[in-house]
């Protein structure tokens, strides 16, 4: 999560036109279902970590049947939009939203059955500490379900696509977006150190690459509208950003993964 406003109103609108109402990253509502595939959310207490403008919180409560969803974020403007989305969806009795500061989660121990987070941990520089916090606020038997962008590790093909990855990361930074990308091994080590067991990783990169190509086609078909909202420079940057992401995914220098990790049933077990 980031410490200050990263998204202008125009950028928020353009992202939602590509990703779906309430979402600021690729995959939208469909990916919420993918991240929690195989899990039962019905009747559960769920923490939406880095809830953004509320799309995932609404899906978790409205379509996946969570009893209670608490959405946390560090950006007040995003939470204002999330509150409107939750109200429009008629979910105010089951979805609450809270502004927090970066750092330890202001939550009691063992408060949630599940933690959901989509494309958020990559904003956090100290991932092991956040994963330890996630473990702390989960009940025994609870699950951490995460989708995120990670640095690729591998051979020549990965190295060949490294310029595309670096261009993508540089454009994100130039846009004012704060990321701290790490290899998957950092997540796996952090989860193990926190005490999680039964860690499952699903590679989502091929789907993300295809979806990126769809977004490029959509940007072309909706060029007039996007140019009007973003301006010419913003539109060209949006297209270049997506193209670099697609090329980095295709070459393996960037990966998108889904992670499910469980807190063991017995307290203190590992």
- Give CA–CA dist 182/218, Å, rounded: 30
- Give CA–CA dist 229/138, Å, rounded: 41
CA nearest 144: which of 190, 92, 79, 98?
190
Give a yes or no: residue 165 inside a domain.
Answer: no
- pLDDT of res. 233: 85
Give a yes or no: residue 184 inside a domain.
Answer: yes
pTM for this prediction? 0.91
- pLDDT of res. 191: 98
Distances (CA, A) of 81 to 73, 150, 177: 12, 28, 19
Alpha helices in the chain (DSSP H): 9-19, 28-35, 55-62, 76-88, 127-137, 156-160, 162-174, 184-194, 205-221, 223-251
- Give CA–CA dist 145/270, Å, rounded: 18
Residues of the domain holding 53: 9-151+180-205+254-262
Give a yes or no: residue 171 inside a domain.
Answer: no
What 8-state DSSP symbol labels residue 195?
A: T
Is 42:68 a contact under the CB 8 Å cutoff?
Answer: no
- pLDDT of res. 155: 66
Give a yes or no: residue 132 inside a domain.
Answer: yes
Interhelix angle 162-174/223-251, nearest 10 degrees: 140
CA dihedral 237, 13, 114, 128 (to 10 degrees): 30
Give a yes or no: residue 106 inside a domain.
Answer: yes
Give a yes or no: residue 50 inside a domain.
Answer: yes
From the first residue on, what is the mean pLDDT of each consecutive set of 10 residues in the chain (270 residues)?
55 76 88 96 97 96 97 93 96 97 95 97 96 98 98 78 93 86 96 95 96 90 83 87 95 96 74
- pLDDT of res. 4: 47
Give a yes or no: residue 51 inside a domain.
Answer: yes
Give a yes or no: residue 238 inside a domain.
Answer: no
- Give CA–CA dist 45/142, Å, rounded: 10
- pLDDT of res. 7: 61
- pLDDT of res. 127: 97
- CATH number for the domain including 200? 3.40.50.150
> With 0-12 CB in 10 A as exposed, 13-18 as middle and 19+ as buried, what is 224?
exposed
CA angle 83, 88, 89 (to 5 degrees): 100
Q: How many domains does the chain divide into?
A: 1
- pLDDT of res. 187: 98
């Amino acid at each position: 999560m980031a410490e200050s406003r990263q998204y202008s109103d125009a950028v928020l609108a353009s992202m939602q036109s590509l990703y779906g109402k309430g979402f600021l990253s690729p995959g939208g509502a469909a990916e919420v279902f993918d991240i929690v595939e195989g899990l039962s959310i019905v009747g559960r207490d769920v923490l939406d970590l880095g809830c953004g403008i509320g799309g995932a919180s609404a899906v978790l409560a409205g379509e996946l049947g969570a009893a209670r969803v608490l959405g946390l974020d560090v950006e007040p403007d995003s939470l204002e939009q999330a509150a409107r989305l939750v109200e429009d969806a008629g979910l105010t009795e089951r979805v609450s939203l809270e502004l927090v500061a970066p750092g330890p989660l202001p939550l009691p121990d063992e408060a949630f059955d599940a933690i959901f987070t989509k494309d958020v941990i990559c904003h956090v520089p100290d991932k092991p500490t956040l994963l330890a916090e996630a473990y702390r606020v989960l009940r025994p038997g609870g699950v951490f379900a995460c989708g995120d962008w990670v640095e690729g590790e591998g051979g020549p093909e990965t190295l060949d696509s490294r310029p595309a990855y670096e261009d993508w990361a540089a454009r994100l930074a130039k846009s004012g977006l704060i990321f701290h990308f790490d290899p998957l091994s950092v997540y796996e080590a952090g989860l193990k150190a926190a005490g999680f067991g039964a860690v499952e990783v699903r590679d989502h990169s091929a789907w993300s690459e295809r979806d990126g190509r769809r977004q490029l086609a959509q940007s072309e078909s909706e060029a007039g509208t996007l140019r009007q909202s973003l301006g010419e420079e913003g539109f060209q940057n949006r297209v270049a950003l997506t193209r670099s992401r697609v090329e980095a995914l295709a070459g393996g220098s960037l990966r998108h993964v889904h992670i499910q990790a469980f807190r063991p049933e017995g307290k203190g077990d590992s």
